[in-house]
């Protein structure tokens, strides 16, 4: 509770005074400290409530006053709306969308309802990793960059669940393959071969663990799961093509539909055979300012420059 903050006060003050006169003043000191403690505690509580009230007040005034969803920074309200009429058409309908989504978490802004597309224009990558090593084995020391954009999206939870189901089936499939190859191996080994024992034990273990082929229903289910996972994931994850062996890559690739309030994780990766190296990763929240600016240049980790562009969808899209 509040103990950690109180103990130092109670203990330190008396010991700091080298020769406190006995009984009387020490009991006076304790009373003082207790009083001080209550004053501080009340102060903290009052500050806490004050901040909460401020926050609530901010929330209500914002949702009542703004005309375009969540905002980050006051800059955009006055000047732009007054000076230019860049985008009056979206001001209201998109706000309704975002407001509706916020008040009803089940209602998700669909990609079709998002008004912009995030174009990844180009990337400049530092020639070496943060630890000073080159990206790839010589003579191809330069990275093979591509960019992955992921929007924070409730769909991910569903995908994770489906992936769990798919992985169970895949594990079963793997186990069956292992059993078959162990049995094959055993057939080829002569009696008395030293490694027979190893494979015999392996076969017994896999059989004990229930290794069996997938039923046709299971095989079909796995196929459907994988299709569905890929489809759902493409709703909130997109990657650019890979540019091979280059520290200056031009993509000009359309990725995700986006809109105000979207939180995006942007990763620049070096394509590799097994595991892709992360060149840099950053997170942005899409604001009206960013959308209005159109093009932005980001710089993070080993990414010297990443140019992105928010393109307004054409009216019919």
Taking the complex as a whole, the smallest distance from the CB of residue 273 to Ca ion amounts, in Å, to: 8
144/153 with CB nearer Ca ion = 144
- Closest separation in Å from C-beta 143 to Ca ion: 6
Q: Please state the closest distance from residue 242 (CB atom) to Ca ion, in A.
A: 9
Binding site for Ca ion (CB under 5 A): 136, 144, 270, 272
- What is each CA distance from 216 to 170, 173, 176, 202, 212, in whole angstroms? 14, 12, 14, 26, 12
Nearer to Ca ion, 59 or 272 (CB): 272
Tell me whether residue 263 or residue 272 sits nearer to Ca ion (CB atom): 272
Q: Which residue has the tokens 């591509």?
A: 146
Burial class of residue 300, CB neighbours in 10 A (0-12, 13-18, 19+): middle
- State the nearest-atom distance from the C-beta of 270 to Ca ion, in Å: 4
Residues 6+ apart with CB under 8 A from 290: 284, 296, 310
Which of residues 163 and 277 has its CB atom nearest to Ca ion in the complex?
A: 277
Nearer to Ca ion, 153 or 267 (CB): 267
Residue 70 or 145 with smaller CB distance to Ca ion: 145
CA Rg, the chain, in Å? Answer: 31
| Least distance from Ca ion to the Cβ atom of residue 239, Å | 15
CB nearer to Ca ion: give 99 or 281. 281
> Least distance in Å: CB of 146 to Ca ion?
10
Nearest in space to 118 (alpha carbons), one of 274, 256, 237: 256
CB of 135 to Ca ion, least distance (A): 6
């Amino acid at each position: 509770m509040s103990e950690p903050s109180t103990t130092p006060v109670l203990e330190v003050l008396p010991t700091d005074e080298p020769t406190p006169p006995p009984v009387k003043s020490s009991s006076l000191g304790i009373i003082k400290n207790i009083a001080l403690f209550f004053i501080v505690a009340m102060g903290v509580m009052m500050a806490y409530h004050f901040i909460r009230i401020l926050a609530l007040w901010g929330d209500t005034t914002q949702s009542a006053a703004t005309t375009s969803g969540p905002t980050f920074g006051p800059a955009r309200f006055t000047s732009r709306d007054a000076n230019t009429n860049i985008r009056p058409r979206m001001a209201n309908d998109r706000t309704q969308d975002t407001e509706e989504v916020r008040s009803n978490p089940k209602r998700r802004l669909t990609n079709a309802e998002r008004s912009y597309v995030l174009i990844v224009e180009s990337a400049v990558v530092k020639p070496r990793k943060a630890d000073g090593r080159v990206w790839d084995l010589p003579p191809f020391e330069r990275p093979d960059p591509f960019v992955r954009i992921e929007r924070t999206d409730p769909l991910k939870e569903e995908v994770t669940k489906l992936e769990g189901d798919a992985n169970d089936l895949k594990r079963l499939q793997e186990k069956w393959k292992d059993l078959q190859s162990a049995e094959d191996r055993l057939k080829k080994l002569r009696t008395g071969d030293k490694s027979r024992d190893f494979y015999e034990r392996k076969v017994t273990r896999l059989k004990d663990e229930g290794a069996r082929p997938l039923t046709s229903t299971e095989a079909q289910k796995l196929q459907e799961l994988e299709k569905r996972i890929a489809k759902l994931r493409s709703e909130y994850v997109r990657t650019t093509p890979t540019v091979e062996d280059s520290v200056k890559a031009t993509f000009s690739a359309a990725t995700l539909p986006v809109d105000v309030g979207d939180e995006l994780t942007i990763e620049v990766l070096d394509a590799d055979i097994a595991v892709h190296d992360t060149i840099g990763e950053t997170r942005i929240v899409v604001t009206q300012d960013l959308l209005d600016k159109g093009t932005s240049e980001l710089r993070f980790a080993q990414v010297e420059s990443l140019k992105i562009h928010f393109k307004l969808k054409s009216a019919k899209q």
